[in-house]
Chain A
Amino acid sequence: MLKLVKYDFRRDRDKFLAVFVITILVQFVIGFTVRSDQEMFMMNVTSYAVAGVVLLFFSLRTFGQNLRLFNRRLVPVPVLYTVLSPVMLFLGSLLGLFLVAYIHLAVDIMMFSTSFLPEKFWLISAYTVLIVFWASAYSMLLVMFSMTVAMSVRVKGRVWIGIAVFFVIQYIISLLESSMFDHKNITLERAFRFEVTDEAAKLNDIEISQYVLGLLPTLFEAVIITILVFAIVKLVKKRVES
């Protein structure tokens, strides 16, 4: 499968590298122009998040191309690998983005101090990385499923069918999750939520109890991911035509 990932990356290598270069340049611009620490932190985080979304978009595009390109449909590898290779590509590039962000942070710490970091920063950031990976793979597979459904039908307006499928599935899963579990434990809601329990303490008193993975919601999401992957593989095998 790594060979597939290699060719996926090679196809859009320049675009992926451009995202990284632009993200780094944006950090320089923010560093030289913004004076407020809080404002700078928010802009840094936002720019990394935007880069992540762009990488997600490129990886989804790669998946769509893989379903259409003859050379990719003809290779004698399991369809599962074809489905998972763009996910691996995305998670790999996301890991790269996190590395850049951590190098950026290390430079900031060396130049200034760790005083601007909240007390539990390292625990929170490790947890956030884990949750972001999980939520990203989950969301990506949801979009990939919608794309595959759209490509399985031979009617006009397939794009709209894909969009409708995405929202319907998303709504059903959210409904199920919120009816079965406490909303605080749902992955997508957990991803970027920080609760400051003591207003006076600001960032130094983030409630740690929320940073414990809920076992049942995580299991439920793992089951959904498995079903999505299984459904995509079946559709690609039986319905999607190049």
Chain B
Amino acid sequence: MENILEIHDVTKKYRSKHALRGVSFNLSAGKITGLLGSNGSGKSTLMKIIAGLTQPTSGRVSIIGGAVGIDSKAVVSFMPDKPLTESWMNVKDALKFQSDFYPDFDQTKASRMLEFMKLRAQDKVKDLSKGMNERLQLTLALSRRASLYLLDEPIGGVDPVARTKILNALVEFYEEDSTILLSTHLVSDIERIFDDVIFIKEGEIVMHTAVEDIRMRQGKSIDELFREVYAEC
């Protein structure tokens, strides 16, 4: 199967501090992969490199066979840890922005998602609660028919009700032939949706495996393994 994403020996340094060290992995189509790690482990940096917001110090990133650039931005849908919206926007403006710049934006899917998320087109972005804002950000990201979705901490800092709603939306609106890379440190809530997991610690990949392998061979849940790996962090 063709790889959607190929990361080869990527290193990112901020002066003398390494944010990422020789990170390499591939993701194939049709899988939801969890990028798991504690705060400061390099998850967001890696996602920003894949999205084209940051340049790696060394190494290579390839998306559907091409380098990160205009073409990759057209097929990657990124939900970063900062909003994709601006304070002057209402929900309708935010969707219009997406449809103006991304040919793969699906208006019908966006309308269904708004209804599912209980968001109204006329709602002002600056008046939304944190949970509602996260719902909107997820709507903006998933309303595109992208090949690769990058979701950076989609459930971070929201209450359990909003968390459940967001996870249900992920399952409901996920395109089966696309790939999702989802970063989080809140493993227990979300592990049910993963096919694969990547454990990242201090900028290095410590494990990349299928969830079934962990459950069958080690007899543990992802949450239990996560607590073991990051016990001393």
- Please report A residues at the B interface, Cβ cutoff 8 Å: 3, 7, 10-11, 13, 69-71, 73-78, 154, 238-239, 241-242
Please tell me if the beta carbons of B88 and A76 are within 8 angstroms of each other in the complex.
no
Q: How distant is the Cα of A239 from the Cα of B71 in the complex, in angstroms?
A: 20
Q: How distant is the Cα of A238 from the Cα of B100 in the complex, in angstroms?
A: 26
Answer whether A70 and B82 are a contact pair too, CB < 8 Å, given A3-B100, A76-B71, A154-B14: yes
User: In the complex, which of the residues B48, B55, B70, B101 contacts A3, with contact meaning CB atoms closer than 8 Å?
Assistant: B101
Give the residues in chain A near B80, CB-CB below 8 Å: 70
Answer whether A71 and B70 are a contact pair too, CB < 8 Å, given A7-B97, A238-B55, A241-B54: no
**Most chain B C-beta atoms within 10 Å of own C-beta, residue among A13, A154, A242:** A242
Give the residues in chain A near B85, CB-CB below 8 Å: 71
Q: How distant is the Cα of A35 from the Cα of B209 in the complex, in angstroms?
A: 83
Is there a chain A Cβ closer than 8 Å to B74's Cβ?
yes
Shortest C-beta distance, B59 to chain A (Å), equals 15
Please tell me if the beta carbons of A76 and B86 are within 8 angstroms of each other in the complex.
no
Shortest C-beta distance, B22 to chain A (Å), equals 20
Please tell me if the beta carbons of A71 and B53 are within 8 angstroms of each other in the complex.
no
User: In the complex, which of the residues A11, A154, A238 contacts B86, with contact meaning CB atoms closer than 8 Å?
Assistant: A11
Give the residues in chain A near B83, CB-CB below 8 Å: 70-71
Answer whether A75 and B88 are a contact pair too, CB < 8 Å, given A241-B53, A242-B53: no
Is there a chain A Cβ closer than 8 Å to B169's Cβ?
no
Please tell me if the beta carbons of A71 and B73 are within 8 angstroms of each other in the complex.
no
Is there a chain A Cβ closer than 8 Å to B52's Cβ?
yes
Answer whether A76 and B97 are a contact pair too, CB < 8 Å, given A69-B86, A238-B55: no
Interface string of B20-62 (1 = CB under 8 A from A): 0000000000000000000000000000100111110000000
**Most chain B C-beta atoms within 10 Å of own C-beta, residue among A10, A11, A75:** A75
Give the residues in chain B near A69, CB-CB below 8 Å: 86
Contact residues of B between 90 and 148, Cβ < 8 Å to A: 93, 97, 100-102
Interface string of B154-172 (1 = CB under 8 A from A): 0000000000000000000
Interface string of B172-184 (1 = CB under 8 A from A): 0000000000000
Q: How distant is the Cα of A74 from the Cα of B78 in the complex, in angstroms?
A: 8
Answer whether A71 and B86 are a contact pair too, CB < 8 Å, given A76-B102, A77-B70, A242-B53: yes
Q: How distant is the Cα of A178 from the Cα of B156 in the complex, in angstroms?
A: 58
Shortest C-beta distance, A163 to chain B (Å), equals 23
Answer whether A71 and B102 are a contact pair too, CB < 8 Å, given A78-B70, A242-B48: no
**Most chain B C-beta atoms within 10 Å of own C-beta, residue among A11, A69, A74:** A74
Shortest C-beta distance, A198 to chain B (Å), equals 54
* Further contacts, 10 of them, CB under 8 A, given A3-B100, A76-B73, A242-B53: A11-B88, A70-B82, A71-B85, A71-B86, A73-B53, A74-B51, A74-B73, A76-B102, A238-B55, A242-B54
